[in-house]
Amino acid sequence: MSYDKAAFDAYIEANRKRFLKELGELIAIESVAADKRDTRPAAQWLKGRFEKLGAIVTLYELPDSESPVVMAEIGDGDKTLMIYDHYDVQPETPIELWDTPPFELVERDGLLYGRGVVDNKGELMVRIQTIENWLVTHGELPLKIRFVVEGEEEIGSLHLDHWAEEHRDILKADGCLWEGGGRDENDRISMAEGCKGIAYFELHVENAAYDLHSSLAPMVGNPAWRLVWALASMKDEQDNIIIDGYQDHVRGFSESLMQRIDQLPFNAERMKENLGITDWINGMTNAQAHRRHFTEPTMTISGFESGYTGVGTKTIVPAKAWCKLDFRLVPDLTPDLVEELVRNHLDKRGFTDIKIVRLAGEHPAMDPHDSDVKQAAIDACKETFGEEPLISPWFTGSGPLYPLSVMLDIPVISAGATWHPKARAHAPNENIFVKDYFDSMRFTAALFDIFGRS
């Protein structure tokens, strides 16, 4: 049966309140893996919701983890579509900057607020509710769908590589629909075919047994200064990564790919306004910033802590200092390689006392190519929104595309309609538009229909 838009829309209108109530139930579960909160209730909630659809659901336990992988299978078409989402969310801090309770879905002025509403619980629920709508209004699905929903994405998908390798025989699919996708600064639907990788570390330095009186500073080492000097040796004042040998492993991109990036629309002034900035670093032009955003690896100090940071003065030589570093990776950088390069770089300069703790790592997945699932997403966008989507060769963030796409040789497209430039993913007051939530259902239904017939 082909996609009946009128029947699908009528079911949305009859169930709008219930659909949002369900989303609110999932938002209310504080599934924050980063600070070891119990994420299992979210996995169990999803298991029950998938079972209401009639799906076959399996929870796969992971070693030393309270966040099982939820796999749900439903449908019996000729084509198999893997759908990837995650049920863990970022910490809600700083909570004082939220205008509404972070774990309560609040509708206000056409927007839905709540932690995870854009990244990624909203889109996950859109896809589940789209299937319900299809089953009620159309009967059998036009394809087989396999959900892979994890609970460790926000901490680097620590166990997904190994899990996917162990289960590659049951993960075969004709295409993968990834999380993400939405509107850009020009209000155009945007999609992507891959992503950068990531390596995330902590660097730790310790010296004295306890914080010392700062009168001892002339003769006792200060871990905070030591860490500052180490960090300064890895990046120059023009923001270039100068770790020994690092740039030797950065693969250049083809001229055709560079031209494709250059041709992507870029509303730089609106982006600056949304970000609350006036200039790009080093006075770059908009064209330079756009190209660098897509193609350059990064090294970012995500946090730094040492000594006294309270009100007033406290004169000490800190006993400890530590920082968090994230590296966005492009080919041919890998997490293992970056860790080795950083270790060798520090040791060569006498920083052998700095301890490196690896927290997360994901390989880049940046080799775009044409596929049926990509074309289905393009056609679904045209059918739903009456416009041609923008297709980026990759998105500039990171995710576990490598184990579920590249490693398994499954073509992937990151596509949806809930993200927007002011969605504030990972920040207080995370939000999506109510309209986009339901439009994303219509887009997803069209994609199911087109891909199932391709």
Alpha-carbon distance values, 143 to 14, 136, 362 (Å) = 25, 16, 30
- Pick one of 3.40.50.12240, 3.40.50.150, 3.40.630.10, 3.40.50.2300 as the CATH number of 5-194+365-453: 3.40.630.10
Q: Indicate whether this model's pTM tops 0.85.
A: yes
Q: Choose among 195, 220, 224: nearest CA to 208.
A: 220
Q: What is the pLDDT of residues 174-227, one digit of tens each?
A: 999 999 999 998 999 999 999 999 999 999 999 999 999 999 999 999 999 999
The answer to whether the beta carbons of residues 116 and 122 sit under 8 Å apart is yes
For the chain, give me the number of helices (H) and strands (E)?
12, 19
pLDDT at 375: 98
pLDDT at 1: 60
pLDDT at 79: 97
Strand ranges of the sheet holding 106-108, from the earlier edge strand across to the other edge:
106-108, 111-113, 431-433
Q: What is the pLDDT of residues 230-271, one digit of tens each?
A: 999 999 999 999 999 999 999 999 999 999 999 999 999 999
pLDDT at 454: 87
Pairwise CA distance, residues 359 & 191, whole Å = 29
Domain ranges of the chain: 5-194+365-453, 197-250+297-362
Residue ranges, the chain, pLDDT below 70: 1
pLDDT at 167: 97
pLDDT at 2: 81
| Element (DSSP H or E) covering residue 359 | strand 355-362
- Yes or no: domain 197-250+297-362 corresponds to CATH 3.30.70.360: yes
The answer to whether the beta carbons of residues 173 and 410 sit under 8 Å apart is yes
- Show the beta-strand stretches assigned E in 65-207: 69-74, 80-86, 106-108, 111-113, 144-150, 175-178, 182-183, 189-192, 195-206
